[in-house]
């Protein structure tokens, strides 16, 4: 079994801390995970944990993934492959070029290892946009991990990013949401909602979820307008864009229904505790906040962000760097653990495909 | 104490049934409530309840509000003032002109009674738009109770509807949301989000909630764009519209903060069970689904719709006519009861003002 890579994230954020906590508190859940990050960064975070009353896990420096796979590390030991060596200074909770560069290098190294078949997938700890900007990473081009990975994966495949369409899925224990548009002003998002982009989202969601579930997923499509347009009175996009896109996707085997009124479809799609088979396996949402408001409403401790459509498996916790609490020992590892579990489920299904 | 009026809603929907169930199951909660509706409609719904195994409450026909107030009806008896007499035929779960007209007449009668000072407030059971259309009520002009009541209240005050700006507030036990825009296509809603409309919303929310809470409410403003525009990268409305509007409102004593990222502010504003003082008393949302997705996410049994800014108190349950289950005895009265409780709290505070 190939390893699952965990990227350090911004050194000044909670990324290294939640990785350490995951190895400390959930050694079985992180079995087979290998961390890419800077030694000094993890040492500083381990020290901070110690000062906050925790006993951080031992860190084993690994020269390469190869060696790492051949060794049998004791349970709970964190295998670290030195990556993204810090050049310059950084401090907890502070933006720095050194931190941004280190974080980006870890993501790129992980992506390359996945694309070259050396790793099963990657789980990314949060980066900080200001640090990336300070490091000269063109943030306007890469407003998130998703876009950065898309370009890396496209380059590896010898195609343009446009030829490798990806979509963001947010998931927690009761809801999965796949977004048609992500990091765009709402006005621009409205323009980006086209028959093509909606149909593409449906296809990507269909293929990814089919693989994950082992059956044809039931996809609910959220409308764009109040009451899903109410027959045209409150907008025409449902008739002119969403329904034609659904018809196109259905021809290719997608099981999509809707468009449903946005204000109630997420409630309907929630998987209740006692519900073995929810009405829908996922909701396709039209824009960032339509999909993220319901996913985050109950709290973000368990949320997972999954990039669909890439030639690699990538998940991440659904929270940011949390500079305000970094290094204080109070960050929670639950969302990271959910992301690891989700990545594993994708890997497992991938392997049997 | 003046009575609280309950309007029948569409005869073919669940309105009459949940009113009957409220009197049957919660006689103390509906003490002081008087129903405006058609006798035959309530008889048919009472019979349907009986057939479904319930024992409907006795109905006392009242000639007027005056007489009603002078009488001491036994606990659990439903006082009905015949209003909106059905002319023509109607059937459970079916659109009809007769039903639409009856429903609209009940609302108008209730509004007039409130505006003339004969009632403390009104709680409206759901109407059905197709029935209203069939009855010739211009639905394009009145896409909901809110707009209809706005015009009625404005006429009573001798001003134009524009001079009596109203806003919709949705509330449940953990969240209050006040909307800047309601029943508009999303594109049109974006155009309707102006410095003036946002500032007006803040003022209306401030005044209504001040009265309700007896103190200055803490209002969170949701951004319009992903991440609240992220410093202009994902849209400029936060800087160009929301912040100037907040500055205008603050001069008039409004305590508003934000604009916050829309995907997390509703989660932050939730009142948890163990939380006596939530961080915010309400969230001002920019458009219909931004505010309604989180309010409805946990279920709609308890949701209440409150019209703010009117010269009368009006609340309603946060659900529709539910034609599909009308007359089957399975509708739930919880949302109606929450609406009654909310109206009472507004009346009480109003009285001490």
Q: How far is B240 from chain A (nearest CA, A)?
A: 14
Q: Is the peptide bond before B259 cis (omega within 30 degrees of 0)?
A: yes
Question: Over 80: is that where the pLDDT of B351 sits?
Answer: no
In degrees and rounded to multiples of 5, residue B169 shows phi and psi of -115, 135
- Most A CBs within 10 A among B95, B133, B172, B185, hence the mutation to make, goes to B185
Q: Name the average pLDDT for chain B.
A: 92
Under a CB-based contact definition with an 8 Å cutoff, are residues B49 and B78 in contact?
A: no
Interface membership of A37 toward B (CB under 8 Å) = no
Q: SS3 string of B58-95?
A: CEEECCCHHHHHHCCCCCCCEEEEECCCCCCCCCCCCC
Q: Chain B contacts of A318, Cβ < 8 Å?
A: none
Interface membership of A186 toward B (CB under 8 Å) = yes
Interface membership of A270 toward B (CB under 8 Å) = yes
For A234, the closest of B183, B234, B290 (CB atoms) is B183
Question: Over 50: is that where the pLDDT of B352 sits?
Answer: no
The vertex-A149 CA angle with A147 and A151, nearest 5°, equals 70
Q: Chain B contacts of A234, Cβ < 8 Å?
A: 143, 183-185
- Average pLDDT for B238-261: 98
Strand, helix or coil for residue B99:
helix
Q: What is the pLDDT of residues B55-73, one digit of tens each?
A: 999 999 999 999 988 888 9
Interface membership of A272 toward B (CB under 8 Å) = no
Q: What pLDDT, on a 0 to 100 scale, did the predictor assign at position B318?
A: 85
Residues A186, B226: C-beta atoms closer than 8 Å: yes
- Say if residue B211 is exposed, middle or buried (CB neighbours under 10 Å; 0-12, 13-18, 19+): middle
Q: Enumerate the β-bridge partners of residue B304.
A: B171, B317
Residues B226, A187: C-beta atoms closer than 8 Å: no
Strand, helix or coil for residue B124:
strand
Interface membership of A347 toward B (CB under 8 Å) = no
- Note the ipTM here: 0.85
Distance separating alpha carbons of residues A313 and B281, to the nearest angstrom: 41
Q: How far is A299 from chain B (nearest CA, A)?
A: 6
> Residue B353: which pLDDT band, with cuts at 50, 70 and 90?
very low
Q: Specify the pTM.
A: 0.87
Measured over the CA atoms of residue A86, residue A92, residue A96 and residue A99, the dihedral's sign is positive
Residues B293, A235: C-beta atoms closer than 8 Å: no
Interface membership of B55 toward A (CB under 8 Å) = no
Q: What is the pLDDT of residues B203-219, one digit of tens each?
A: 999 999 998 888 999 99
Q: What is the DSSP letter of A4?
A: E
Q: Select from A38, A6, A40 the least CA-distant residue to A21.
A: A6
Q: What pLDDT, on a 0 to 100 scale, did the predictor assign at position B140?
A: 62
Distance separating alpha carbons of residues B17 and B48, to the nearest angstrom: 9
Q: What pLDDT, on a 0 to 100 scale, did the predictor assign at position B300?
A: 64
Token duo for residue B66: 């005056």
> Residue B349: which pLDDT band, with cuts at 50, 70 and 90?
low
Distance separating alpha carbons of residues B15 and B38, to the nearest angstrom: 12
Residues A185, B267: C-beta atoms closer than 8 Å: no
Q: What is the DSSP letter of A183?
A: S
The tens-digit pLDDT sequence of chain A (353 residues) is 899 999 999 999 999 999 999 999 999 999 999 999 999 999 999 999 999 999 999 999 999 999 988 888 999 999 999 999 999 999 999 999 999 999 999 999 999 999 999 999 999 999 998 899 899 887 667 767 888 888 888 988 899 988 889 999 999 888 999 999 998 999 999 999 999 999 999 999 999 999 888 899 999 999 999 999 988 889 999 999 999 999 999 999 999 999 999 999 999 998 876 666 778 999 999 999 999 999 998 876 678 999 998 888 999 998 889 999 999 999 999 999 999 998 988 875 554 43
- Most A CBs within 10 A among B293, B296, B335, hence the mutation to make, goes to B293
Edge-to-edge strand ranges of the sheet holding B4-7: B59-61, B78-82, B33-37, B4-7, B121-124, B314-317, B304-308, B167-171, B176-179, B282-285, B218-222, B255-260
């Amino acid at each position: 079994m190939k390893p699952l890579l965990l990227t350090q994230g911004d050194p000044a954020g909670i990324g290294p801390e939640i990785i350490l906590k995951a190895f400390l508190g959930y050694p079985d859940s992180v079995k087979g995970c290998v961390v890419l990050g800077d030694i000094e960064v993890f040492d500083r975070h381990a020290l901070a944990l110690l000062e906050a009353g925790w006993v951080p896990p031992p860190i084993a420096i690994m020269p390469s993934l190869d060696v790492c796979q051949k060794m049998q590390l004791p349970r709970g030991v964190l295998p670290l492959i030195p990556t993204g060596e810090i050049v310059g200074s950084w401090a907890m909770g502070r933006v720095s070029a050194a931190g941004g560069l280190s974080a980006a290098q870890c993501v790129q190294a992980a992506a390359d290892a996945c694309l070259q078949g050396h790793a099963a997938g990657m789980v990314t700890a949060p980066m900080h946009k200001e640090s990336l900007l300070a490091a000269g990473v063109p943030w306007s081009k890469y407003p998130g991990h998703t876009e950065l990975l898309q370009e890396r994966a496209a380059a590896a495949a010898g195609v343009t990013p446009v030829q490798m369409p990806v979509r963001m899925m947010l998931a927690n224990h009761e809801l999965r949401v796949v977004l048609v548009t992500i990091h765009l002003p709402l006005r621009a998002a409205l323009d980006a909602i086209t028959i093509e982009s909606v149909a593409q989202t449906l296809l990507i969601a269909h293929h990814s979820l089919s693989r994950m579930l082992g059956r044809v997923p039931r996809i609910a499509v959220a409308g764009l307008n109040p009451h899903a347009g109410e027959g045209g009175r409150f907008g025409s996009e449902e008739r002119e864009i969403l329904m034609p896109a659904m018809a196109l996707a259905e021809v290719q085997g997608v099981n999509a229904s809707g468009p449903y009124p946005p204000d109630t479809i997420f409630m309907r799609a929630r998987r209740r505790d006692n519900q073995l088979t929810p009405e829908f396996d996922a909701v396709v949402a039209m824009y960032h906040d339509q999909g993220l408001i319901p996913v985050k409403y109950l709290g973000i401790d368990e949320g997972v962000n999954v990039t669909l459509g890439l030639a690699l498996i990538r998940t991440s916790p659904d929270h940011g760097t949390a500079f305000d609490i970094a290094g204080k020992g109070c960050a929670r590892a639950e969302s990271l653990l959910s992301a690891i579990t989700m990545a594993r489920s994708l890997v497992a299904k991938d392997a049997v495909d």
